[in-house]
Amino acid sequence: MDFTFHAGVNGSKPWVEFYPYNPSLTAGYAFMAIFGIATVVHFVLMFPYRAAYFIPFLLGGICETFGYHGRARAHNGRTDIGPWAQQQMLLLCAPPLLAASIYMTLSRLMASLAAEHHSPITPRKLTRWFVLNDVVCLLTQLAGAGVQISGDKQLMSIGLKVVVGGLIFALLVFGAFIWIVAVWHRRLAREPTPISVAEGAKWRVYVYVLYLVCGCMVVRNLVRTIEFGSPHGADVREREVYIYVFDAALMAVLMAVWCFWHPGRLIKRARRAKVAQEGVELLGK
């Protein structure tokens, strides 16, 4: 970020300008409302779909909601560390929490379609390794953002580098995850399981939605990496519109599409189809 450090005048305390612009009050509250509503919807959907794996997703939605509340609070308060720290911490930590549910969703889709054998890595290992990597990303973002809250110029520079490292690591992890999704998808399309056949083309819709969700996360992390880590990211840092287009809007799309195409819906249908299929097999015997 392009912080402006002021040394203080006539004995006054030094201060920092955290933004090169005046954060928008309207945009901040608008996205606070959007994420708040989406989080409530996902909380409600979690029960009929028995989607406990969406708990990190809910926590991510809460972070997004109060993160944009922090940006709204920063309106006309470019030197106030409280609102800046609130939005910085929460908006950096929200995506790893959202990503944790994305990783766990794939293993559950595989199990529900009885297609675990098509995965290049077992669902158990997939969940374990990717969630573990996600925890590393989360802790890195927390550490980097936490150090920046100090207001010390040197420590803020170190914190910025930590954040960039976490973002690059998250991009690599998501690249590997998308490769696994693509391999599994291709193999299942070539050799469908009885459950996927029973679902017809519907299971493919949920896989394409998973691609969309992953794409939103990758683009967001890529733009944030440019913002924090590239000397060519000055335009991103100096114009607030970029954080709303390439972070807020993308994370809102991510949460919204899973409101309409919640993976729990497919998992619930596949579970019923599996039970019915087993019942037919028992009658046949």
Q: Quick one: residue 54, left, alpha or beta (phi over 0 = left, psi -120 to 50 = alpha)?
A: alpha
- Would you say residue 264 has pLDDT above 80? yes
Domain boundaries 4-261, CATH class: mainly alpha
- Would you say residue 13 has pLDDT above 70? no
Position with higher pLDDT, 43 vs 283: 43
Q: For 109-131, how does the pLDDT look when each residue is reduced to its tens digit (9 = 90+)? A: 999 999 999 999 988 888 889 98
What confidence tier does 154 reach under pLDDT thresholds 50, 70, 90?
confident
- Would you say residue 227 has pLDDT above 90? no
- Mean pLDDT across the chain, nearest whole number? 86
Give the predicted TM-score (pTM) of the model: 0.88
- Which run of H or of E encompasses 252? helix 249-260
What confidence tier does 8 reach under pLDDT thresholds 50, 70, 90?
low
Torsion (CA) 204, 210, 213, 217 in degrees, nearest 10 = -140
What confidence tier does 2 reach under pLDDT thresholds 50, 70, 90?
low
- Would you say residue 14 has pLDDT above 60? no
Neighbours of 19 (CB within 10 A): 21
- 121: Cα separation from own chain's centroid: 22
The predicted pLDDT at position 151 comes to: 58
Query: How far is 36 from 95, CA to CA, in rounded Å?
Result: 15
Which residues neighbour 139 within 8 Å (Cβ) at sequence distance 6 or greater?
none
The predicted pLDDT at position 3 comes to: 56
Query: How far is 137 from 175, CA to CA, in rounded Å?
Result: 14
The predicted pLDDT at position 280 comes to: 47
- Which run of H or of E encompasses 254? helix 249-260
What confidence tier does 135 reach under pLDDT thresholds 50, 70, 90?
confident
